[in-house]
Structure formats: structure tokens, C-alpha cells
Amino acid sequence: MRSVGFRCPQGHESADPEYCDVCGTPNPAYSIARDPGAGPPTGRWPTADPCLVCGTERVGADRYCTNCGYDFEMDQPLLNGSELHGPEVAVQPLVVPDSGPQAPPAAWGPSPTLALVTDVNASRFNEPGAPAPPADVAEHLYIVDRSPILIGREGSGLDIPIHGDPYVSRRHAEIVWTGSGWGIRDLGSTNGTRVNGVTLQGSEVRYLAPEDVIEVGFFSQLKVRSL
């Protein structure tokens, strides 16, 4: 019986501790010294897959193209049409809950600009199993005027970093402009994303309206504000 080296981000059990021996995804917790010019082992995850939409090289095992948002795992462009920037471009078709189509909220005016305020739910600090409260509990305002906007645990490449909450995934969720309204989509996070207490399902895009509360991690939240 073979020993299991790690569980890769795609959920596969791998005997190889460095790369998943099912899909080739590198183990983010494993590092090994090798000749810098040697490249990855033969048959393993390539160092740079070109984006099929804009040609930008893929960064490691990142799911989305850093230039146009192309989804390498689903083999689908995030944005349709020839324009790759700006909120006027529609994203891929929405996946809505079984309860039926969700109409864009009428509260949005003609301007696509969105305001998000990040803060923490202090009422959860004393719950059993709660992590230590973050050092910074102040509110922070973000003005969103492009799509997509990446939310995740503090690190590089994020548009809205969440600090001090270990239950937030590194690439947790994204804010997208659909052409008719703003929405949010979970990116396969470990602990899920909730809007007004309702958990997003799969790749569903949930439309946002002013005063909606987006919950990520244990006590982190983003409040939607209109301008």
C-alpha cells in the first residue's frame, strides 16, 4: 500500500509529496532545491501555459489568467468578446440557484462603480473554536470600477486582501460585472462564501444589491454600498 504524500488543491490524494501524481498540481507546502535551469520534472505541471485568449503566460498553478481572467481549469474565457478590460464586458453565463432566475437588482443606477467596506463581525470573537481576533479591526473602503476583483487571504495578486482570518482561502472569491449588475462568485474556497447568510453553490454568480453583506472566513465580511 503506497503512502499518501499530500492532498492537492483539486482534491486528489498523491503519493508524490512535491507534485500531484493525478493532475500534476504542485504541492504549495513543499519546496526542494534543484537546478534553476532544469525546470519541472518531466510529465509534471508546466511552468507556463499560454492563455488561449490573450497569450499571457500562466503563473504557476493559478486558475485564472492574470491579464484577462481566462479560466485554465474550465478552459473558458471569463470575459466574452474582443474587449478584455472594463466592466462593460459580460462574463461567462451565470449559474443560478434551483429557485429560478435571479433578476439584477433595480437599485443599481447607470454607473457600474461599486463600493465595498471590509470589516469584522466582532460578535463571533468569543465563539467556541474562534481564531484570535485580527490586529486591525477597522473598516476599509474599496471602490470597484473594473472586473474581476479578487478577494483572498493576505498575499500578492489580490485586489481586496483579508487580514488576520485564517479561515479565508488565498483565492477565496471574486467580484464580477455581468453587463447588467455586480455579482460575486466563490472560487472553490475551503469554507465557502455567503451573501446575507446564504451560501453560494458551485460556480454560481450571486447578484449584489446595496446593503448586502458578504461573509468570508470566520468573522470577515464585506458590506455593499452604492455610490
**Span 169-219, pLDDT tens digits:** 999 999 999 888 999 999 999 999 999 999 999 999 999 999 999 999 999
Q: Please give the backbone phi and psi of residue 84, each rounded to the nearest 5 degrees, phi first.
A: -110, 0
pLDDT mean over 9-36: 64
What is the tens place of the pLDDT at every residue in 65-85? 666 676 777 766 653 333 333
Residue 165 has pLDDT above 50, yes or no: yes
Q: Which amino acid is at 85?
A: H
> How far are the Cα atoms of 62, 73, 79, 181, 220 from residue 130, in angstroms, in the given order?
30, 33, 38, 35, 12
Res 104: pLDDT: 53
% of the chain with per-residue pLDDT over 90: 39
> How far are the Cα atoms of 21, 89, 151 from residue 4, in angstroms, in the given order?
10, 44, 31
pLDDT mean over 5-30: 70
pLDDT mean over 116-141: 92
> What is this structure's pTM?
0.52
Residues 6+ apart with CB under 8 A from 5: 14, 15, 16, 17, 18, 27
Please give the helix or strand (H or E) that residue 194 lies within, else none. strand 193-195
Res 95: pLDDT: 46
CB of 65 closer than 8 Å to CB of 51 = yes
Burial class (CB in 10 A: 0-12, 13-18, 19+), 151: buried
Residue 47 has pLDDT above 70, yes or no: no
CB of 205 closer than 8 Å to CB of 94 = yes
Q: Which residue has the higher pLDDT, 91 or 51?
A: 51
Cα distance between residue 47 and residue 39, in whole Å: 7
Cα distance between residue 48 and residue 37, in whole Å: 14
